[in-house]
Structure 1
Amino acid sequence: MSASLLLGLVAASGSSVEPTLVTAEEAARPDAPPDPRRSLFPGPAIHLLSPTPRDLIRPLTSPVHLKIAFEPTNGASIASSAVAVRLMKQPSVDLTSRLGRSISPAGIDLPIMKLPPGRFPLLISVVDSNGDRRVTIYTLTIAK
């Protein structure tokens, strides 16, 4: 197990160690092509709160506070187990388990997320209790 992954797992368990969500090797991989998955029904809304969508225009400085809110629709609910987060690189990296307890039915809240320099297209997928899915990609760029 790499040291970066271990740090991420320790941080997800509630330790005060700053998590490294993505290893330098994973960050260096080429970006994957856009994911064409779409649902006929809109599913729950996914709102990027921190950094804001406007912040994504320029490179960010690590660590980053990652905060995403989920908004169910049509009286549906969202379970933490119905949320998936992938780093869209070739090959892609499932970050869901690394985020651990940062994922809740209300969203994702990781106050201190360390990332190496690079470009990070994050695919967030949420399925509600009606079976409706929403998939959104936010790309974070971390300055060198």
Structure 2
Amino acid sequence: MSRKGLGLLVVCLMALCQPLPSRAAGPLITPEEAALPPPKGAVGVDRRGVTRGPKIELVSGSDIASLPTRFQLKFQTFGGATVDLASVKVLYLRTPNVDLTERLKTFLQPAGIDMPDASLPPGEHMLRVDLKDSDGRAGSTSFILKVAR
């Protein structure tokens, strides 16, 4: 192997040995966002029905007693379709709505979202999750996270 090739191999091996980027959790919802007024007339919706669109399930539970907490969603697709990760959108329903998608991107996987140490202020927080599958079928759900005071 040439000196140049050996040098390239060493650089590649060094890059592979670097630690993975941190997936440190942080605030799912900030106190400033929680202070925004809730939307008028909003209620949690559970869209049950016969559809082949993807399903979204809150795995971690809606009642939160201690912080930080694990925020975990499970995605389920049908008919061989996969989740279109680029279509996933998570909104904190306030006035105006707060898009949480960017802060959850490092925790997004084809099977769902798994944020191990999420923090959020006490109170009730309504979130809506929208996504599409590889066949273009849409799925959406809303839920309320209740954080003990």
Query: TM-score interval w.r.t. the shorter chain?
Result: 0.7 to 0.9
Give, in whole Å, the separation in 2 of the partners of 1:44 and 1:140. 21
Alignment-derived partner of residue 62 in structure 1: 67
Paired residues for 1:88-103 under 5 Å: 88-103=93-108
Deviations 1:83-107 (A, max 9, x none): 1100011110000001121011110
Shift of 1:15: 5.1
Counterpart among 117, 135, 138 of residue 140 in structure 2: 135
Contact 1:41 1:133 in 2 (8 A): no
Match of 1:23 among 27, 30, 34: 30
Largest Rg, 1 or 2: 2
Counterpart pick for 1:48 among 58, 72, 76: 58
Q: Which runs of 5+ in 2 are unaligned?
A: 1-20
Task: State the partner residue of 2:84.
Answer: 79
The RMSD of aligned alpha carbons is: 2.4
Alpha-carbon separation, structure 2, partners of 1:123 and 1:95: 10
Asked if structure 1 preserves the Cα contact closer than 8 Å seen for 2:38 and 2:95, the reply is yes
TM-score (norm 1): 0.76
Matched pairs, number: 125
Asked if structure 1 preserves the Cα contact closer than 8 Å seen for 2:54 and 2:137, the reply is: yes
Per-residue CA deviation, residues 27-54 of structure 1 (Å, 9 max, x unaligned), is 0222222599x8x945111122112xxx
Distance 1:126 1:87 in 2: 15
Q: Does residue 113 of the first structure (1) align with residue 121 of the second (2)?
A: no
2:86, 2:122 → 1: CA distance? 29
- Paired residue for 2:8? none
1:49-91 CA distance string (max 9 Å, x none): 112xxxx3x5532211011110111221113212110001111
Kindly, what percent of the aligned residue pairs are identical? 35
Find the aligned partners of 2:103 and 2:76 in 1 and give their Cα distance.
23
Partners of 1:60 and 1:140 within 8 A in 2: no
Q: SS of 1:62's equivalent? A: coil
**Secondary structure of the corresponding residue to residue 125 of structure 1:** strand
Q: What TM-score do you get using the length of structure 2 for normalisation?
A: 0.74
